[in-house]
Amino acid sequence: QKEVEQDPGPLSVPEGAIVSLNCTYSNSAFQYFMWYRQYSRKGPELLMYTYSSGNKEDGRFTAQVDKSSKYISLFIRDSQPSDSATYLCAMSPLNSGGSNYKLTFGKGTLLTVNP
Amino acid sequence: NAGVMQNPRHLVRRRGQEARLRCSPMKGHSHVYWYRQLPEEGLKFMVYLQKENIIDESGMPKERFSAEFPKEGPSILRIQQVVRGDSAAYFCASSPDASGPGYTFGSGTRLTVV
């Protein structure tokens, strides 16, 4: 079993739809959970960051973490064509010294929002 | 602030040649991380460096790969005697410290071995 599983899609939705992206994981030591957005031929860009369980909202984006189920989600409301990209989940444990530098990524989900 | 700068953007090498990938972190960032993204795979951690020190190289292949971050100049990821399986996108990221949250990534170097 891979440490982080993410459905690669592709996922195609109409403009304005609510998008749900998900990852599951197996490593109970993961404490930090991140979502990155990656446009074609670009580097990943940090969207959301959550420590431990709970929800976090930033504009049209909401990140949820359910540690009991080892399941994280990213919701995009009122999706726009500019949201078309690959979305990567990433997570890390709390390393010694309090650092969390070593990220384990999902493979990414390719999202297309059609105008 | 120019962000994390990686060059070259694209690099083509013949089998057996050496590849040198360069990464200049964001201004004020002294922590550098290298990740590799193989086709159809997620990003995989390779190495974490601070100035003049390798902190964690647990993700580096045992042979042919090395990394450095000298006191002056960019961080360098060096791949000796490249093979076709080294073809991938190599991303560098930087941060002001190692405690998070998340990194700033560069746009990557796409290495093609022919």
pLDDT of B26 over the 60 cut: yes
Single-letter code of the amino acid located at A1: Q
Collect all residues with Cβ–Cβ distance below 8 Å to A5 and sequence separation of at least 6: A23, A24, A25, A106
For the stretch A55-109, pLDDT in tens is: 999 999 999 999 999 999 999 999 999 999 999 999 998 776 666 788 999 999 9
Contact A98 B99 (CB under 8 A): yes
Amino acid identity at A77: R
Please give the share of chain B, as a percent, with pLDDT higher than 90.
Answer: 82
Q: Which residues, numbered 4 to 23 in chain A, qualify as contacts with chain B under a Cβ-Cβ cut-off of 8 Å?
A: 4, 6
Contact A46 B108 (CB under 8 A): no
Q: Are strands B43-50 and B104-105 parallel, antiparallel or unpaired?
A: unpaired
Residue A108's closest chain B neighbor by CA? B42
Contact call for residues A16 and A83 (beta carbons, < 8 A): no
